[in-house]
Amino acid sequence: MKYVFACVISLLFSNAVMAQLEVIISGGFQGPYNQMLPAFEKMTGAKVITKSGASQGTGPKTIKAQLDAGTKADVVILSREGLAELIAQNKIIPNSDIDLAQAPLGLAVPAGSPKPNISTTKAFSSALVKAKKVVVPGSTSGIYLTKELFPKLGISDQISVQVTERGSQATTILAAKEANVAVQPSSELVNVPGIDYVGALPSDIQLIQTFAAAIVINSPNQKLAQQLIEFLSSPNAVGPIQNSGMNVVR
User: Which domains are present in the chain?
Assistant: 2-102+210-248 (3.40.190.10), 105-205 (3.40.190.10)
- Contact present, 202 and 221 (Cβ < 8 Å): no
In the prediction, which pLDDT does 119 show? 97
In the prediction, which pLDDT does 16 show? 43
In the prediction, which pLDDT does 10 show? 45
- Contact present, 171 and 106 (Cβ < 8 Å): no
Give the residue among 236, 211, 229 at the shortest CA–CA distance from 99: 211
- Contact present, 216 and 73 (Cβ < 8 Å): yes
In the prediction, which pLDDT does 91 show? 97
CA angle 28, 32, 37 (to 5 degrees): 120
Residues (pLDDT < 50) of the chain are 1-17
**pLDDT one-digit tens code per residue, 127-152:** 999 998 999 998 899 999 999 999 99
- Contact present, 104 and 202 (Cβ < 8 Å): no
- Contact present, 202 and 124 (Cβ < 8 Å): yes
In the prediction, which pLDDT does 18 show? 54
- Contact present, 92 and 215 (Cβ < 8 Å): yes
Residue type, 183: V
